[in-house]
Amino acid sequence: MDIQANNYKNRWLVLLDAETGTIELLDRQHDEAWIAGPGITGWFDGGDLGWMPDGKNIWYKSEKTGYSHLYTMDMNGKNKKALTSGDFEIYDPFISKDKKRWYFTANINHPGDRQFYSMPLKGGKIQQLTQWEGRNDVSLSPDEKQMAILYSYSNRPTELYLQGNPIFGKNSEPVEITKSNTTEFEAYDWKDPVNYYVFRFRWGRGTCQAIYSHFRGKK
């Protein structure tokens, strides 16, 4: 079970004995500022966690390093292992149908850049599956061989693309399925941000903001 404090300063992962109604603490996460981050808390359904294929271990998300990452532990709260680490966040992880790998979205390259990735089930080398800088929200086909990508960029609204999953073959270019913009929209010279800056909070983490520059006349 995933239990969260009303003030979002504590999160407990516990094992519930359905017969006795007792609980056993497996993991506690605490932050004097705020327990949050991708997959850490949810308004109605709690954070991300689930069973590993062996049925003996669970996977969960924690931001104890300051970033939301994937972890595993056994049902006694022991043998905790970080599957991912670094100055980036993991979004929407799930296990492949053959139980051999993870799929997830992450902002490894840059805080404002979200790509779709794969990784061995027990951790290891992370493989980037999407290729265009920006935001890539991916849904896999039932056989996992095709990726439906909702792609957007700082000056490009979201469109739907289809691309083969590189896990099952060589990389291919995404094929545009929808084209929602008007002719007038396409004709306008929408500016791309000149720079991205990371503003640091007092407790060390940062948020990324785009800075747009517009000059009138000569610089």
Average pLDDT (73-83) is 94
Cα torsion 72, 125, 120, 71 to 10°: value is 10
Could you tell me what percent of the chain has a pLDDT over 70?
86
Banded model confidence at residue 44, pLDDT cuts 50, 70, 90: low
Of the segments 40-54, 134-148, 187-201, which one has the largest average pLDDT value? Answer: 134-148
Average pLDDT (205-217) is 49
Q: Do strands 23-30 and 135-140 pair parallel, antiparallel, or not at all (unpaired)?
A: unpaired
Give me 136's structure tokens: 């890539």
* Distance from C-alpha of 39 to C-alpha of 29, rounded to nearest angstrom: 13
φ/ψ of 102, rounded to 5, equals: -100, 150
- pLDDT tens by residue, 91-114: 999 999 999 999 999 999 988 899
Tokens 């979205």 map to which residue?
Answer: 105
Tokens 């980036």 map to which residue?
Answer: 88
pLDDT at 218 over 50: no
Sign of the dihedral defined by the CA atoms of residues 75, 76, 77, 81, in that order? negative
pLDDT for 160 equals: 98
pLDDT at 217 over 80: no
pLDDT for 82 equals: 97
Residue 159, amino acid: E
Banded model confidence at residue 214, pLDDT cuts 50, 70, 90: very low
- pLDDT tens by residue, 164-184: 999 998 778 999 999 999 999
pLDDT for 153 equals: 92
- pLDDT tens by residue, 126-164: 999 999 999 999 999 999 999 999 999 988 999 999 999
Question: pLDDT averaged over the chain?
Answer: 88
Tokens 């929602």 map to which residue?
Answer: 180
Name the CATH code of domain 1-121 (choices 3.30.60.50, 3.90.1150.10, 1.25.40.10, 2.120.10.30).
2.120.10.30
Average pLDDT (19-48) is 85
Enumerate the domain spans of the chain: 1-121, 129-187
Give me 177's structure tokens: 């399925």
